[in-house]
């Protein structure tokens, strides 16, 4: 809970610095994102949860808030195999977007917060004369739960 307060405070400051206010409607949306950090929710899923708590907040407001948060790189928009845009919070101070492990059997998504790609980035920069700012990486495979289940059956 304390962690969330801290994160909320930081996001509020980031918005403020960019000339936006953390209005109550925006705050609800941000809280939903923080509470479900691991879940990679789509805009509709975020809206459903916002609506549960505050029926008066409309879909357009939620979309607009997500747009602002994406522009400010507080969240990243990412899509996995279902092609749906999902919203993913940027970890504070992370130089790079985190990686994902996507289970092709159960659809579970795990996060990897180590970078591991420093060497590859250097190589790409040298080989292609391309200044790397970030990267997206999703590993597709079978999660440990699914491997266990396969062993038992």
Say whether 5 sits in a helix, a strand or coil.
Answer: helix
110 sits near Zn ion (criterion: CB under 5 A): no
Q: Phi and psi (nearest 5°) for 88? A: -130, 125
Dihedral of alpha carbons 108, 135, 34, 66, sign: negative
Q: Which lies closer to Zn ion via its Cβ, residue 23 or residue 105?
A: 105
CA 153 vs. chain centroid, Å, equals: 34
List the one residue from 13, 105, 112, 141 that touches Zn ion (CB under 5 A).
105
- In the DSSP assignment, the letter for residue 20 is -
Say whether 86 sits in a helix, a strand or coil.
Answer: strand
137 sits near Zn ion (criterion: CB under 5 A): no
List the one residue from 44, 110, 111, 123 that touches Zn ion (CB under 5 A).
111
Q: Which helix (H) or strand (E) holds 144?
A: helix 144-152
Q: Which lies closer to Zn ion via its Cβ, residue 110 or residue 125?
A: 110
Q: Which lies closer to Zn ion via its Cβ, residue 16 or residue 149?
A: 149
106 sits near Zn ion (criterion: CB under 5 A): yes
Dihedral of alpha carbons 36, 44, 66, 71, sign: positive
List the one residue from 28, 41, 43, 88 that touches Zn ion (CB under 5 A).
88
143 sits near Zn ion (criterion: CB under 5 A): yes
Q: Which lies closer to Zn ion via its Cβ, residue 61 or residue 96?
A: 96
Q: Which lies closer to Zn ion via its Cβ, residue 25 or residue 70?
A: 70
Q: Which helix (H) or strand (E) holds 65?
A: helix 59-71
The residues binding Zn ion (CB under 5 A) are 88, 103, 105-106, 108, 111, 143, 146
């Amino acid at each position: 809970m304390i962690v969330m307060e801290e994160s909320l405070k930081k996001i509020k400051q980031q918005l403020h610095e960019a000339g936006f206010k953390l209005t109550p409607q925006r705050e609800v949306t941000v809280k939903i994102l923080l509470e479900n950090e691991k879940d990679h929710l789509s805009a509709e899923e975020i809206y459903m949860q916002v609506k549960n708590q505050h029926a008066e907040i409309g879909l357009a407001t939620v979309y607009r808030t997500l747009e602002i948060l994406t522009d400010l790189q507080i969240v990243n928009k990412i899509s996995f195999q279902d092609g749906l845009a999902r919203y993913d919070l940027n970890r504070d101070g992370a130089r790079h977007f985190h990686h994902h492990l996507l289970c092709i059997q159960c659809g579970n998504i795990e996060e990897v917060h180590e970078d591991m790609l420093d060497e590859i980035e250097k190589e790409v920069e040298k080989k292609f004369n391309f200044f790397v700012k970030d990267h997206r990486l999703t590993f597709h495979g079978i999660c440990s739960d699914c491997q266990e289940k396969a062993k038992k059956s």
